[in-house]
Amino acid sequence: MTSPPADHGFATRAIHAGQEADAGTGAVVTPIYQVSTYKQDGIGGFRGGYEYSRSANPTRTALEECLAALEGGGRGFAFASGLAGQDTVVRSLLTPGDHAVVPSDAYGGTYRYFNKVAGPQGIEHTIASLSDVDAVRAAIRPGTTKLVWVETPTNPLLNIADIRALAEVAHAAGALLVVDNTFATSYLQNPLALGADIVTHSTTKYAGGHSDVVGGAVVTAQDITVKGLEDASERIAFHQNSIGGIAGPFDAWLVLRGLKTLAVRVERHCDNAEVVVEHLMGHPAVEAVFYPGLDTHPGHDVAARQMKRFGGMVSILLKNGEQSAVNVCAATKIWTLGESLGGVESLIEHPARMTHASVAGTELEVPRNLVRLSVGIEDVGDLVGDLDAALSAHG
Ligand code: PLP
């Protein structure tokens, strides 16, 4: 499949990259190749290189090419979940005795992975505040640190890391910089252009965009020059096939379909988030609002440099403590109480008891009066009204 040139705009690439009309039928949408194996024209005579769907499947290939085009990367890989992709990256690049720097504010499952899965297998990590470049430099163990893992904005506190500065720090120490771009999306932020080596996504979120699929993506830079890790793309390709945590054809198709509208959806998520934030800033029940678009946010200037806009995620602290946070989450009618984020519908959740329950008692523990909002693309007046009613009654 051919792709539009890299200098085409984001929406053009999202709609066309990897997605030529079907050669046999002219179908303008990439078909769901719901197939496990492929007829060979004589042993080893693969048509289009397809042999077995764990190794490659045409629907997944289309998605992988599209993901790479959207991040400006060399190769894309699609996985069964965001965590399956992250696991494949870590296993591909680190062996027992190696070390990673992990954010002090991150998706709870990422921390749990490093702490409870990679750790017992001999891969060590140090937690560092990634908005503090010196703290990251200090956390690096020269010679054994192979990865610096970055989230920006972070889940759930919306902290910002300076990708360009961290790439320099990581590279100087012979480590790769991996950026989880789930919250920002490929539309708002392109970490590879800022010096990162690998981008990951939970495509479950904005990429899929409709809360109907669980998936993950990994995109590697065109050229990785860090000594000993230059072959990161080949290693990830090998491990994707050898471990097998791949996206199935239907899931790949759903994410591919989601990507086509990513640009327009994210613009609307941002528009709505800005209105919601403005409203929350003046609400008497709210102690603090975390949103990188606020010029009072400590990471605002960095975010303004590296993001097109500031995204659809907002977190707030409630003045009246945990119970009021829990009550507000249960009281909204349009905002749905649920985990996950990035879908067209607005979601509300209590990280301490839900998405980040697994980090309770660790350095990543989140405030108990924190409420996280995934601002959807409904009519913003309805969103503000619903939130306002819940905050006024229970905040
Ligand atoms: N990264 C971030 C920032 C997330 O929010 C999540 C899930 O919430 C993941 C990774 C893991 O993705 P998945 O749930 O698709 O495995």
| CATH number of the domain residue 279 falls in | 3.90.1150.10
Residue 289 falls inside a structural domain: yes
Q: Which of 260, 281, 297 is the last residue of a domain?
A: 260
CA distance 277 to 358: 28
Residue 1 falls inside a structural domain: no
Task: Tell me the sheet residues that pair with 290.
Answer: 315
Q: What are the residue ranges in the chain where pLDDT is below 50?
A: 1
Residue closest by Cα to atom 14 of ligand 1: 82
Are both 239 and 286 inside the same structural domain? no
**Which residues are catalytically annotated?**
54, 107, 180, 205
Are both 237 and 89 inside the same structural domain? yes
Average pLDDT, rounded, for the chain: 96
**3-class DSSP assignment, residue 373:** strand
Sign (positive or negative) of CA dihedral 30, 32, 38, 41 = negative
CA atoms within 13 A on the CB side of 106: 27
Sheet with 313-318, side-by-side order of all strands: 286-290, 313-318, 370-374, 347-349, 336-337
CA distance 69 to 302: 24
The minimum-distance atom of ligand 1 relative to the CA of 203 is 15
189 lines ligand 1 (CB under 6 A): no
Are both 249 and 308 inside the same structural domain? no
CA distance 198 to 190: 11
Residue closest by Cα to atom 15 of ligand 1: 82
Are both 235 and 374 inside the same structural domain? no
Residue 375 falls inside a structural domain: yes
Domain count, the chain: 2
Question: Rounded to the nearest 5°, which phi and psi values hold at 352?
Answer: -60, -35
Q: Which of 196, 230, 260 is the last residue of a domain?
A: 260
* Burial of residue 135 (number of CB atoms within 10 Å: 0-12, 13-18, 19+): middle
Q: What per-residue confidence (pLDDT) applies to 2? A: 56
Q: What per-residue confidence (pLDDT) applies to 23? A: 87
Are both 149 and 296 inside the same structural domain? no
291 lines ligand 1 (CB under 6 A): no
* Cα–Cα distances in angstroms (integers) from residue 229 to residues 68, 97, 233, 392, in the given order: 19, 16, 9, 54
The minimum-distance atom of ligand 1 relative to the CA of 106 is 3
181 lines ligand 1 (CB under 6 A): no
Segments of 118-172 assigned E as strands: 124-128, 145-151
Are both 243 and 169 inside the same structural domain? yes
Question: Rounded to the nearest 5°, which phi and psi values hold at 273?
Answer: -60, -40
Residue 300 falls inside a structural domain: yes
Are both 36 and 139 inside the same structural domain? yes
Q: What per-residue confidence (pLDDT) applies to 326? A: 97
Quote the radius of gyration of the chain (alpha carbons, Å).
21
Q: Which of 244, 260, 276 is the last residue of a domain?
A: 260
19 lines ligand 1 (CB under 6 A): no
CATH number of the structural domain spanning residue 26:
3.40.640.10
Which residue range(s) make up the domain with 376?
263-394
